[in-house]
């Protein structure tokens, strides 16, 4: 048995390369050289886990308009314009205007520098991609088209690192624009910071909000067979270390709910899920609400973030981090350790198993603090090393913001209470960091992912049109 990760929709990148057609009869060797550079850009882009829609090489405004129509129909997530030499802004303006996708301009000359002793005018023109970049920038601004650019040379690793960030960011934007996000149950009573107007998500990020009820899951739980439950228990035993505190009956119930959650996600084609149900006195709905943690953690590890307490914005932040390859686990503050200068953070409930420092533990709990019900819960520590916190804040006017902070998960003593817990060193006094983080506009939940990701989140915020606040006390 394996825990199969979903295959997300591939990022679709539209590419158009171009140069000024007046040069071709003047310098016969120039066009073949520029076309070779364009082919190399196509090859490099294709290695970045994206689908490249190549509209070809344009030499005038008529060809530019034809390329614009091809890329418009293709429904691209990012438009890349490769400036191989000088070309007029009228050649790329329709490409940028019609696609409806963010635009990235590339100025990648053949090598690091010209050979000034041997170069003639034709050879120089192959290095002249920088020349039209200010023209494009000025024209695009006047046309109301947002753009970004990367300048370097064809095999420049720094330039390709930046290009890769933009493609990843375009993938995140596409995941949100095409995403279907489930809201099951109701808000945890009293959490004003968590409350989110569902209309604001499609308004600002795109996508669809599917409103679900606990009965949508309850009915599916009742349809799960004993054989399916036993198979899910066996899978969980492979994925987790099962603590002796786990009660077989509770384990089986969590497994049964997990199978039903998979069906719910499939039936509604969900890309994320935020849930909460309070329940009362051990009745069926309470038991369903208390049985989420195992299944939600397995879903999250497969690339479908599922979080408790109806935390819609954090499920979206977790989706952002997952699509960046950072994992992203449901997290809040737990305690400050002033002796070791670390912030302890994590959560009871679902976690991203793919970023655990070791095989995660399944622990039995007779009570979920602050919630009704009982059952099994996940305990783990995020992989030690660089990490990034990412949350989706919301201002007084309803505007979303991205909020991030980079730190390092370090070893040390952890609580054994069925919670995810990590010790994060932010390189400063933990109290000062906590004050700065709390003042950023963050809610009390966020996603914790591996790696330092602020550079990538900067690109994500740009393409989403969101302000990014980086907390660095």
Architecture of 11-176 per CATH? 3-Layer(aba) Sandwich (3.40)
Q: What is the CATH number of domain 179-470?
A: 3.20.14
pLDDT digits (tens, 9 = 90+) for 120-168: 999 999 999 999 999 999 999 999 999 999 999 999 999 999 999 999 9
pLDDT digits (tens, 9 = 90+) for 405-430: 999 999 999 988 888 999 999 999 99
Q: How many CA atoms lie within 13 A of 338 on its CB side?
A: 3
**Lookup result for tokens 């909460």:** 276
Q: Which residue has the higher pLDDT, 349 or 261?
A: 261
CA angle 393, 357, 335 (to 5 degrees): 50
pTM: 0.95
* Cα 113 to Cα 28, 154, 156, 351, distances in angstroms: 22, 11, 12, 49
- The neighbouring-strand residues paired with 356 are 382
Residue among 288, 234, 284, 227 nearest 260 (CA)? 288
pLDDT band at 311 (very low <50, low <70, confident <90, very high): very high
**pLDDT at residue number 1:** 43
HEC letters along 343-402? EEEEEECCCCHHHECCCCEEEEECCECCECCCEEEEEECECCEEEEEEEEEECCCCCEEE
**DSSP secondary structure code for residue 459 in this structure:** H
pLDDT band at 2 (very low <50, low <70, confident <90, very high): low
58 neighbors 84 (Cβ within 8 angstroms): no
HEC letters along 157-185? HHHHHHHHHHHHHHHHHHHHHCCEEEEEE
* Cα 378 to Cα 359, 366, 373, distances in angstroms: 11, 14, 15
User: Does residue 22 carry a pLDDT above 80?
Assistant: yes
* Cα 298 to Cα 14, 60, 84, 274, 373, distances in angstroms: 34, 53, 47, 14, 20
**Lookup result for tokens 């007084």:** 396
- Which residues of the chain does CATH 3.20.14 include? 179-470
- Which residues of the chain does CATH 3.40.50.10940 include? 11-176
Q: What is the mean pLDDT of residues 41-49?
A: 96
In angstroms, the CA 191 to CA 443 distance is 10
């Amino acid at each position: 048995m394996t825990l199969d990760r979903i295959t997300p929709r591939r990022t679709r990148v539209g590419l158009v390369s171009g140069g000024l057609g007046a040069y071709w009869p003047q310098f016969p060797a120039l066009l073949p050289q520029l076309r070779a550079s364009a082919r190399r850009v196509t090859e490099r882009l294709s290695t970045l886990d994206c689908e490249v829609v190549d509209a070809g090489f344009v030499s005038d405004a008529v060809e530019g308009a034809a390329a614009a129509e091809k890329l418009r129909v293709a429904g691209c997530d990012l438009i890349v314009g490769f400036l191989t030499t000088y070309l007029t802004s009228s050649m790329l303006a329709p490409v940028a205007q019609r696609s409806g996708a963010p635009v990235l301009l590339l100025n990648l000359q053949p090598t690091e520098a010209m050979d000034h002793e041997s170069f003639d005018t034709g050879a120089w023109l192959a290095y002249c991609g920088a020349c039209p970049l200010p023209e494009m920038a000025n024209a695009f601004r006047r046309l109301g088209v947002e753009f970004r650019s990367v300048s370097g040379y064809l095999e420049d690793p720094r330039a390709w690192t930046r290009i890769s960030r933009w493609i990843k960011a375009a993938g995140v934007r596409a995941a949100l624009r095409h995403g279907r996000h489930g809201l099951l149950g109701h808000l945890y009573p009293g959490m004003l910071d968590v409350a989110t107007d569902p209309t604001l998500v499609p308004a600002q990020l795109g996508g669809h909000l599917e409103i679900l009820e606990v009965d949508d899951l309850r009915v599916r739980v009742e349809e799960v067979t004993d054989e399916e439950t036993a198979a899910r228990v066996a899978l969980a035993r492979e994925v987790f270390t099962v603590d002796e505190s786990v009660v077989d009956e509770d384990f089986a119930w969590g497994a049964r709910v997990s199978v039903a959650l998979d069906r719910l996600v499939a039936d509604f084609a969900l890309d994320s899920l935020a849930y909460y149900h309070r329940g009362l006195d051990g009745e069926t709905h309470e038991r369903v609400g208390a049985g989420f943690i195992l299944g939600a953690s397995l879903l999250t590890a497969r690339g479908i973030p599922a979080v408790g307490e109806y935390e819609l914005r954090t499920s979206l932040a977790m989706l952002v981090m997952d699509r960046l390859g950072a994992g992203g686990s449901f997290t809040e503050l737990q305690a400050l350790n002033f002796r070791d200068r670390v912030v302890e953070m994590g959560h009871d409930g679902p976690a991203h198993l793919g970023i655990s420092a070791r095989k995660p533990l399944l622990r039995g709990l007779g009570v979920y603090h602050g919630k009704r019900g009982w059952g099994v819960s996940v305990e783990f520590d995020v992989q030690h090393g660089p990490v990034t916190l990412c949350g989706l804040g919301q201002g007084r006017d309803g505007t979303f913001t991205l909020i991030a902070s980079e730190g390092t998960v370090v070893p040390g003593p952890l609580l054994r209470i069925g919670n995810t817990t990590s010790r994060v060193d932010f390189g400063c006094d933990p109290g000062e960091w906590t004050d700065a983080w709390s003042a950023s506009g963050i809610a009390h939940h966020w996603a914790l992912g591996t790696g330092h990701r602020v550079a990538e989140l900067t690109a994500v915020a740009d393409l989403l049109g969101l302000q990014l606040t980086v907390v660095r006390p």
